[in-house]
Amino acid sequence: MLDVLRYGDEEAPRAPSPTLARLDELVSRSEGAGLPVHATVKGSPRPLPPGVDQAGYRIVQEALTNIARHAGPASATVRVTYGDSDVTVEIDDDGRGSTGPGPEGSSPTGGNGIPGMRERAAVLGGELDAGPRPGGGFRVRARLPLQKEP
């Protein structure tokens, strides 16, 4: 939904849809860009409803992007947990966070990243929490229910 709003009449991407099954590729790209990432999967990975699968991937992707942009020197931990009725993605970093304006004077909290992640979760009936962790760093945690899509 967000891509449609942002890109309007552009052609749809021709690459396969991003899904949590491609988490290893996402982690590798992040590491290739200089962000150490440790990923774990708990539960039994299985096919998910397409909206849930894509939202989970995009939330992890956006959280890793935010860490690379705002956390300073940091590493990240990604946890994906497959439950009976939901999938949870949790992304933690051990960085220091932004302390001032971002690129070109933008506010570190004024972008579309966290609101976009929150919207992705809400559209599916899930929830997203994002904020500083006790002792430093930042956490993004989304719970996405596995209800059937309309």
Q: What is the pLDDT of residues 62-110, one digit of tens each?
A: 999 999 999 999 999 999 999 999 999 999 999 986 544 444 333 345 5
Q: Which among 62, 66, 70, 78 has a CA at the least distance from the CA of 119?
A: 62
Q: Give this prediction's pTM.
A: 0.81
Residue 33 pLDDT grade (very low, low, confident, very high; cuts 50, 70, 90): very high
